[in-house]
Amino acid sequence: MTRPMSTPGKALQVRTPTLPAIQPSIALALGGGGARGIAHILMLEVFDELGLRPKIIAGTSIGAVFGAAYASGLSAKLVRAYAEEALGQRFDIVRQLFSARSEPILKFLNFIPIRSALLNPVSVLELMLPSKIARDFAELEIPLRLVATDFYAQEQVVFAHGSLRTAIAASMALPALFTPVTVDGRVLMDGGLVNPLPFDLLRGEADITVAVDVSGASTGPGKRPHPSAFSALMSASQIMQRSIVREKLKAHQPDIYIDVEVDEFYVLDFHRYKEILARAAPAKAQLRRQLTRILKSQTVETLPAMPPVATPSPTPGRKRRLPSLEQLSRGRKE
């Protein structure tokens, strides 16, 4: 067999094997914030556009709604299309009910004591959630943890198994707007009262933790009109949630923290979903940049494991004798 001759003075070109990249795992926390949480859709779009899949998701209130949809296997594109249809066309009655400017019942509540809640969260979910969303945690494609508040124990309740829609309903049951949800004798309501941004539930679950905060930043006087009584009640909950998030960040911070600037919207401004999506666009770009940068810095390359080299076993049979000196000398003469 002939072998190619190498050119003197030139090094042989050796092909470097392609190294498989090990991508770090990501945990995603979606916070509560009412209509402001529509911004979560854009954050989910970043994951789809980068080809990423969270290892686990945690959500509170509106974050529980979108977290459950994504964990059920729905793409961000499908979630956005359904949300726009639900808020813009198919459910005009619900949209009007969520509109603080046009709903007469909410105006009426500004003048009388509120004795009962306005909506049943379970009924609203059955009306608005896509049918493709799983009905039980066991059916999810991505592990999910949802946060609710135990009204009497005054502590958080974390759902990770059982009825998914019941857990979502409990997590989003904002006081005065939704009736509490009773589960195993516990009276549960909006998880934002105790843990509005549950990134702490994801500690140690993945290499990277991403937290999306839609509680809204503080605003100066004059930026908003004077709030009505009911609007002030709803905003008070947001102020409390914002304070909780600030204290949590002092103790521990996620690897990526996205503070979406949606403070100009009220909790019930679902009818302004197009404006919310537009205002959340810079936060989407920020998440993309940070994810891309941190993934590049943490992705490592490793060679595949080399198979053990097998040592050939000796051929069975008689040993071959070396030629004698006499035979060697005879061979030279011949």
Tokens encoding 127:
């009306």
CA angle 273, 87, 162 (to 5 degrees): 105
Question: Which of 54, 51, 3 minimizes the C-alpha distance to 30?
Answer: 54
- Extract long-range pairs of 225-233: CB within 8 Å, 24+ residues apart: 228/100, 228/107, 228/110, 229/109, 229/110, 229/111, 230/100, 230/106, 230/107, 230/109, 230/110, 231/100, 231/266, 233/176
> Is 61 a known active-site residue?
yes
Question: Which of 144, 177, 138, 140 minimizes the C-alpha distance to 158?
Answer: 144
Classify residue 291 by burial, with Cβ atoms within 10 Å: 0-12, 13-18, 19+: buried
What is the sign, positive or negative, of the torsion defined by CA atoms of 61, 183, 28, 87? negative
String of b and e for 141-153 (b: at least 16 CB within 10 Å)?
Answer: ebebbbbbbbbee
H or E stretch including 155?
strand 155-159
> Is 184 a known active-site residue?
no
Question: Which of 57, 69, 66 minimizes the C-alpha distance to 29?
Answer: 57
150, 190, 213, 259: the active-site residue: 190
> Active-site residue numbers?
61, 190
